[in-house]
Amino acid sequence: MAKTLWISDIQSGSFTGEVIELQGWIKRHRSSGKIIFMTIRDSTGEIQCVAKKADMNEENFDSLKNALIESSVKLTGLVKSDDRAPGGHELTISAGLIIGAVNAQNPFPITESAMEQTEGGETEFLLDNRHLYLRTSRMTTMLKIRSTIFGSIHEYFRKRDFIEYQAPSFVAGAVEGGSTLFEVPYFGRKAYLTQSWQLYAEAAMPALERLYTIAPSFRAEKSRTRRHLTEFWHAEMEIAWGGNEEVMEHGEALVRSIAKTILNERSDELESLGRDLNLISRYADSPYPRMRYDEAVETLQGMGVEIEWGQDLDYSKEKVLTKDFDVPHFLTHYPKIAKPFYHRPDPDDEKYVLCHDLLAPEGYGEIIGGGERTWSEKEILERIDEEGTPREPYEFYIDIRRYGGVPHGGFGMGVERVCSWLSGADHIREVIPFPRDSRRVTP
């Protein structure tokens, strides 16, 4: 029995001259009467395969000859080294079996030329066929980078003794304001889908002191933009006995370690997307400057952008601001009126809160939002009342302050925002298998 190999193993050159078995899908197929050229792909790569009528059982040759793109196959063949072949190797097929045949009445709808025309800017057609688009090389590459980024986040926190901790997805109150809450019927009552793990993490802060999660968060974002999903993966952390500075240091170190990891593990994939590796290595190595909100507003006004003090920065403004950044920048000290109740007012000037957003360069904008929490009972009640928020859903949150409150803080990082920026994607949809926005819950 010939050994079954991954394509990446065949392309490594260690099996040249051996007869091996390969299982995969037909990516390209062209034939004349006596010879078939196929490109076979699996999750690890692609390889060119040649079948000659003269070398094979005739029935077997004919079935391969009639096989359509995206049929799954098992092939037996001889590995040859060939400089002209992509990857440097080619398979001369001696036998082949079609496992899952594609029917001629129903050919694979996504043709390579359609793909090339829409590279990056996915059309509605490709979104409707997302379940099939996943197997194209651009999407495969994005999903591999995404997986490495998830792994890198877990590694960062676990190496530093953070405890992974889970919060409920059904909740009774808002974290990030009411306008983006998803309401769900809940046995005669109203519940909401969580916008953030934070409040429930704060409850465990006196128990575990350093916690993190990676979980879905939900925001009813009506507008469709290049950086908003209604369901996104949220990496969040919370630490006891820490303030805004310490939380920012973790945010910076985390993002740098993600950049380092993908540079080490996914440089081929990044290059295949046309990403400049020098940029990624700068994001891994250079320090991230800090800038106060007021300074950012002045900079924007100096650039002729219309913005009033007290407004949160929306995407259009962050885009202008970050276009010429060479590395991510922290924006700190936002006005209290621009941020939710849990942010701690700055004792030096109560108009501001001790918070930060990390803005990615190249026009990508916010990837992290975080800061120090209001941690005394008196202050949190003042902030809740000042905002006009009902106290009732937050009683558990206020209790945390009643029983041994300590200074603490944390941040949330949008994982798709980071994937999108580091891979140079045109749209956040490109980096999640089944994107959800206001118009789409299918497939």
Report the nearest approach of Mg ion to the CB of residue 391 (Å). Answer: 24
Pick 405 or 414: Cβ nearer ligand 4AD = 414
The first and second tokens of residue 323, run together, are: 């276009």
Chain-centroid distance of CA 344 in Å reads 29
Between residues 65 and 130, which has the closer beta carbon with respect to ligand 4AD? 130
Q: Which amino acid is at 352?
A: Y
What single letter denotes the amino acid at residue 391? R
Calpha distance 388→378 (Å, rounded) = 16
User: Between residues 56 and 163, which has the closer beta carbon with respect to ligand 4AD?
Assistant: 163
Distance in angstroms (rounded) separating the CA atoms of residues 146 and 262: 9
- Length, in residues, of the chain: 443
Q: What's the min distance (Å) between Cβ of 248 and ligand 4AD? A: 12
Which residue is at the shortest CB distance from Mg ion? Answer: 369
Q: Which is nearer to ligand 4AD, 15 or 315 (CB)?
A: 315
Give me the sign of the Cα torsion angle 257, 259, 262, 264: negative
Q: Which does 228 bind (CB under 5 to 8 A by kind): ligand 4AD, Mg ion, none?
A: ligand 4AD
Stretch that binds Mg ion, among 47-55, 152-160, 251-259, 367-375 (CB under 5 A): 367-375
Taking CB under 5 A as the binding criterion, the range among 44-52, 85-93, 364-372, 383-391 that sits at the site for Mg ion is 364-372
Would you state the torsion angle of the CA atoms of residues 348, 350, 351, 353, taken in this order, to the nearest 10 degrees?
A: 80
370: contact with Mg ion by CB under 5 A: no
Min CB(208)–ligand 4AD separation in Å: 15
> Which residues contact residue 189 at a Cβ distance below 8 angstroms, ignoring those fewer than 6 apart?
none
Query: Computed over its alpha carbons, how large is the radius of gyration of the chain?
Result: 26
Q: Which stretch binds Mg ion (CB under 5 A): 47-55, 152-160, 363-371, 397-405?
A: 363-371
Of 27-35, 200-208, 283-291, 361-369, which segment contacts Mg ion by CB under 5 A? 361-369
DSSP bridge partners of 21? 4, 76
Tell me how far, at minimum, the Cβ of 221 lies from Mg ion, in Å. Answer: 12
Choose the one of Mg ion, ligand 4AD, none that binds residue 435, judging by a C-beta under 5 to 8 angstroms depending on kind: none
Shorter beta-carbon distance to Mg ion: residue 42 or 318: 318
Going along 229-304, which residue ranges are E strands? 231-240, 290-292
Q: 368 touches which of ligand 4AD, Mg ion, none (CB within 5 to 8 A by kind)?
A: ligand 4AD
Contact 400, 203 (CB under 8 A): yes
**Nearest approach, Cβ of residue 295 and ligand 4AD (Å):** 20
Q: Which does 405 bind (CB under 5 to 8 A by kind): ligand 4AD, Mg ion, none?
A: none
Comparing CB distances to ligand 4AD, the nearer of 354 and 367 is: 367
Closest distance of CB 150 from ligand 4AD, Å: 15
Q: How far is the CB of 260 from Mg ion (least distance, A)?
A: 25
Window 157 to 196, contacts with Mg ion (CB under 5 A): none
Per CB under 5 A, 369 contacts Mg ion: yes
Residue 417 near which of Mg ion, ligand 4AD, none (CB within 5-8 Å, type-dependent): ligand 4AD
**Nearest distance from C-beta of residue 176 to ligand 4AD, angstroms:** 4
Q: Tokens for 277?
A: 């590796």
Quick one: 368 or 425, whose CB is closer to ligand 4AD? 368
* Phi and psi torsions of 353, nearest 5°: -120, 155
Q: Which is nearer to ligand 4AD, 11 or 198 (CB)?
A: 198
Which two three-digit tokens encode residue 256?
A: 């740098």
Q: What is the DSSP string of 77-130?
A: EEEEE-TTSGGGEEEEEEEEEEEEPPPTTS--S--HHHHHHHSSS--HHHHHTH
Q: Answer with the entry of ligand 4AD, Mg ion, none that 423 interacts with (C-beta below 5 to 8 A by kind).
A: none
Residue 96: CB minimum distance to Mg ion, A: 54
Binding site for ligand 4AD (CB under 6 A): 175-176, 195-196, 198, 219, 221, 228-229, 232, 234, 236, 366-370, 410-414, 416-417
∠ at Cα 157 (153, 160), nearest 5°?
145
Neighbour-count burial of 290, counting CB atoms closer than 10 A to its CB (0-12 exposed, 13-18 middle, 19+ buried): middle
Burial class of 26 by CB neighbour count within 10 A (0 to 12, 13 to 18, 19+): buried
Number of C-beta neighbours around residue 245 at 10 A: 13
Closest CA to 176 of 209, 221, 208, 143: 221
d(CA 402, CA 405): 7
Cβ proximity to Mg ion, 346 vs 377, nearer residue: 346
**With respect to Mg ion, which residue has the nearer C-beta, 44 or 389?**
389
Residues that bind Mg ion in the complex, under the rule CB under 5 A:
369
